[in-house]
Amino acid sequence: MQVQEILIIKNARESYGISTEDINQISRVPSLMLLPLRPFGVRGLCSVGGSVVSMVDMNLLLDMPEIDLADSKSRVISLNHDFASNTLLVPDVYNTVEIEEENIEYIDNEDDPVIAIYKYEDSLVQVLSLEKLFEKMNRVTIPAREVSSGKLKESVVKEEDSVRFLIFSMANEKYALEIDYLQEIILADIEYTDVAGTSNEVLGLITLRDELLLVVDLRTYYGFEAVESDDNRILVVSLEGKKVGLRIDAIIDIQNFYKREIEILGERLDDNKITGVIHAKDALISFFDATVLNEIFRKNESFIDTNEKEEVTQKVQTSEMEIIVFKLADREYSFEVDYVDEIIDVVATTEVSFTDSTIDGIINIRGQIVTIVSLFEKLHLAPVVGEDSKIIICNIDGDRIGFVVDSVSDILNVNADEIEQEESEYFESVLQLNGGERLVLAMNMEKILSKEPDNG
């Protein structure tokens, strides 16, 4: 490899050079997006010239301390050709010089990224081969994909007042309920005890944790046809000590909306079934809150127990955690809801080579990079993606991490007496739901994201 011109990079007392043929532009260090379980040498991802590229730290690849991103001298070098999906983070850019052949000595060492020594003024410049320097790095491009479902990252949403909703479907229409009123979501495949004298939308009573719960078919209440399917769910909602179950067609998503996107219709509606509409990007979503719930309670007040405040407080205290239940290979697992940022449809990932084998790749959601970690690989299961598959995106210590699952089943409150501690490779407990008839493995996030399994 004959080098015609080099850019000299200063690093403490050392000088390095790279061929200008590989250089596109030099700029200040942009904002860094962290990449969990990233390859050695990669500091994260950044946006340069409208593209998302990996930021490779030259010092780390040369077995030196990482470069200070905040140092005013630090720069990123955008690269050409096969290296275009990377930027090179360097400590200080010095000068560009044309090579004088009598001052350069080439080195024949296949394992060393230094391919030549160039004498420039009173110093020796070590000329680097980017190909050898990057030989363990994957050159990736990360195309943006528009995702219609899901919510904005919590930390971003907090910059402006927002409200969190559960999005669900009835008769192929989207509806929303403020998440604050939702206590849990349960399967609808359950036997009801008929109650005489109730309205036609009342399905009956069920027993839930030794409590009688009235269940209303929300589809009938809204005048829709009630079609039974495996996707049907019962939303257990509570308000001021009163509790009722609402049967709906299917769960779609959990999503945050800015308050400016929420329109309260108020007196424009006279049937007390809709509070307002959400101006989502792809559609208008009807939503309801306390006003509608109070109307449902009022119509069925004779059949709904009102708990005293002391009883409500006691039950809240016995609730140990809130979980989201999902399936992998017909077995149920769970995450704590506090970790969950959003649930989206499955999209194609961009593969990142030379990373941990459990990394499926990277996706770009609204300019945010999400690393997809394979639970199938972690649990030694054959990966299968079907029409019900989802990506559960979690926010773990500020990192956005997604997990592909077969389907999302429920959101539940779990009481302390339903949790059996059982430390194992990736799990921290077994949840014994429905009186022990339904076993759900609770995943330990730290163990899932560790590179080495803990076999206890």
Per-residue pLDDT tens digits for 82-99? 788 788 999 999 889 999
Cα torsion for 413, 419, 422, 426, to the nearest 10°?
0
Across 158-172, 176-190, 413-427, least confident range: 158-172
For residue range 290-346, list pLDDT tens digits in order: 888 888 888 888 777 554 433 433 444 455 678 899 999 889 999 988 888 888 888
Judge whether 430 and 417 are in contact, CB under 8 Å. no
CA distance 65 to 144: 32
- How many CA atoms lie within 13 Å of 123's alpha carbon, on the beta-carbon side? 15
- pLDDT for position 353: 59
Is the pLDDT assigned to residue 255 strictly greater than 90?
A: no
- Rounded Cα–Cα distance for residues 319 and 166 (Å): 20
What is the model's pLDDT at position 140?
41
Summarize pLDDT for 327-339 with one digit per residue, the tens: 998 899 999 888 8
Q: Give the SS3 label for residue 444.
A: coil
Write the DSSP symbol of residue 40: T
The per-residue pLDDT for 403 is: 93
pLDDT-derived band of residue 271, with 50, 70 and 90 as boundaries? low
User: Structure tokens of 219?
Assistant: 């589809």
Its sign, for the CA torsion 199, 201, 207, 213, is: negative
pLDDT at 426: 86
Q: DSSP 3-state assignment of 119?
A: strand
Q: Would you say the pTM of this structure is higher than 0.75?
A: no
pLDDT band at 46 (very low <50, low <70, confident <90, very high): confident
Nearest of 365, 146, 159, 162 to residue 257 by alpha carbon: 162
Between the CA of residue 274 and those of 53, 222, 234, 257, what are the distances in Å? 45, 10, 19, 17
| Whole-angstrom distance, CA of residue 370 vs CA of residue 367 | 10
Return the pLDDT at 215: 92
pLDDT at 317 (0 to 100): 42
C-alpha to C-alpha distances, 269 to 149, 163, 275, 283, 311, nearest whole angstrom: 28, 22, 8, 20, 35
3-state secondary structure 232-282: CEEEEEEECCEEEEEEECEEEEEEEEEHHHEEECHHHCCCCCCCEEEECCC
Supply 351's token pair. 């593969």
Residues of the chain with pLDDT > 70: what percent?
84
Helical ranges in 151-260 per DSSP H = 154-157, 218-221
Whether residue 294 contacts residue 239, with contact meaning beta carbons closer than 8 Å, is answered with yes
Structural domains for the chain: 5-133 (2.40.50.180), 154-307 (2.40.50.180), 319-449 (2.40.50.180)
